[in-house]
């Protein structure tokens, strides 16, 4: 996040689940050298890391990486080349006993300036072509508005029901309140810990081990892990491209209160919200979670079922000045 000019905050998000290993494999046994080589291909690097019994969390120069026994999550912003990691990821996974991908999710919001991206990421069609060359039964979707807030998803079309509860909430916010955005410049606070406490982000998941970084001259990233639960926040505060994201897999019956809290911190002009839940999740009626957010009106809402396993809800909100 160097420089205070334009920065593409919208992340590319890759989540890969590997089928259980017959040899008791564990992705966390991949050494740091392997991860560093993978991230070098993506054009980012590890800033710091946290570990607990169920998960390793890596704070990156461009966003975050999480690794569990058989799940890999990589989220990168800016002009990173995330899909360049695919071949080495599959190779590293095989080296620790994982020969089969159980499920894959690749998603992102539309970029403000797609022409600045590396060639393989300038269009979703190019990304789909790259993914189709590595995975069978790919299914690609575009949700939202083609002339507004849109969101792209690639997954696999299969009938492999999971016995593991899974849910992911992601909030993608643009047009941050100017006073809020000033908190994420280094001339106001000296480090990530100061910002985290000042704006109240540390209370979102109270028991999480938090790893936060404030970039110079601006920009902010946070990883939090608690057992097999994670949450991550990334902020691009520049006025011409202000953006913040919040993502978590914490299990809840309803996320309404959490969404309201996050929105009260960042006060964005617009929000694109996605919620994935599978049949084992405790979340009740995902589509009802986001009926109302105080001070905002919902302008789009889409629901769909994926793989006969996941339910996906996407909603777009704008600030209500009426």
Q: Domain 12-319 falls in which CATH fold?
A: 3.60.90
Overall pTM surpassing 0.75 (yes/no): yes
Q: Where are the beta strands (DSSP E) in 220-264?
A: 220-226, 229-236, 243-248
Residue 37 is among the residues annotated as catalytic for this protein: no
pLDDT digits (tens, 9 = 90+) for 121-138: 999 999 999 999 999 999
Q: Which of 63, 84, 107, 242 is catalytic?
A: 63
Q: By C-alpha distance, which of 111, 50, 119, 34 is closest to 76?
A: 111
Pairing of strands 71-76, 63-67: antiparallel
Mean pLDDT within 211-233:
96
* Nearest Cα to Cα of residue 35 among 91, 119, 101, 97: 91
Active-site annotation holder among 221, 245, 281, 315: 221
Express each pLDDT in 148-196 by its tens digit. Answer: 999 999 999 877 777 889 999 999 999 999 999 999 999 989 999 999 9
Question: Does residue 2 carry a pLDDT above 50?
Answer: no
- pLDDT by residue (tens digit) across 35-66? 999 999 999 999 999 999 999 999 999 999 99
Question: Which of 279 and 291 is assigned the larger pLDDT?
Answer: 279
Averaged over 5-19, what is the pLDDT? 96
pLDDT-wise least confident of 113-122, 269-278, 283-292, 308-317: 283-292
Q: Are 70 and 78 in contact (CB under 8 A)?
A: no
What percent of the chain clears pLDDT 70, i.e. is strictly above it? 97
What is the distance between the alpha carbons of residues 116 and 308, in angstroms, rounded to a whole number? 37
Whether 288 has a pLDDT exceeding 80, the answer reads no
Tell me 185's DSSP state: B
**pLDDT of 289 over the 70 cut:** no
Q: Is 95 a catalytic residue?
A: no
Selected catalytic residue, list 8, 15, 127, 309: 8
Residues 6+ positions from 125 with CB-CB distance below 8 Å: none
Q: Which residue among 84, 234, 245, 273 is the active-site one?
A: 234
34: tokens are 């392997």
C-alpha 4: how far from chain center: 23
Catalytic residue among 15, 44, 77, 315: 77
Domain boundaries, the chain: 12-319
* Tokens read off for 60: 């990156």
Is 29 an annotated catalytic residue?
no
Cβ atoms 242, 236 nearer than 8 A? yes
Active-site residue 133, yes or no? no
Query: Can 77 be counted among the known catalytic residues?
Result: yes
| Distance from C-alpha of 302 to C-alpha of 287, rounded to nearest angstrom | 9
Percent share of the chain, pLDDT over 90: 85
Q: Is 3's pLDDT higher than 70?
A: no
Q: Is 44 a catalytic residue?
A: no
Catalytic residue of the set 11, 15, 62, 127: 11
pLDDT of residue 222: 97
pLDDT band at residue 245 under the 50/70/90 scheme: very high
């Amino acid at each position: 996040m160097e420089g205070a000019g334009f920065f593409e905050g919208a992340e590319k998000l890759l989540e890969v689940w590997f089928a259980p290993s017959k040899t008791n494999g564990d992705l966390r046994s991949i050494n740091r050298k392997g991860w560093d080589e993978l991230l070098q291909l993506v054009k980012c690097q590890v800033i710091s890391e946290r570990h607990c019994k169920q998960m390793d969390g890596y704070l990156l120069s461009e966003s975050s990486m999480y690794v569990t026994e058989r799940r890999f999550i990589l989220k990168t912003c800016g002009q990173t080349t995330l899909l360049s990691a695919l071949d080495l990821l599959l190779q590293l996974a095989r080296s620790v006993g994982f020969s089969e991908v159980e499920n894959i999710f690749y998603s992102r919001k539309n970029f403000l300036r797609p022409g600045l991206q590396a060639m393989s990421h300038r269009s979703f069609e190019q990304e789909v072509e790259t993914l189709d060359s590595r995975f069978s039964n790919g299914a690609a979707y575009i949700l939202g508005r083609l002339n507004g807030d849109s969101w792209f998803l690639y997954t696999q079309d299969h009938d492999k029901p999971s016995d593991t509860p899974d849910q992911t909430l992601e909030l993608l916010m643009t047009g941050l309140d100017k006073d809020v955005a000033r908190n994420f410049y280094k001339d106001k606070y000296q480090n990530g810990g100061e910002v985290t406490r000042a704006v109240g982000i540390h209370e979102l998941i109270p028991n999480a081990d938090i790893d936060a970084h404030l970039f110079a001259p601006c920009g902010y990233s946070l990883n939090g892990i608690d057992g097999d639960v994670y949450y991550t926040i990334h902020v691009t505060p520049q006025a011409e491209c202000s953006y913040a994201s919040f993502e978590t897999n914490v299990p809840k019956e309803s996320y309404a209160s959490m969404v309201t809290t996050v929105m009260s911190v960042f006060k964005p002009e617009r929000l694109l919200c996605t919620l994935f839940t599978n049949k084992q999740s405790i979340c009740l009626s995902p589509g009802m979670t986001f009926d109302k957010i105080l001070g905002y009106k919902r302008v789009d809402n889409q629901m769909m079922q994926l793989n006969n396993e996941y339910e996906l809800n996407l909603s777009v909100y704008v600030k209500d000045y009426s």
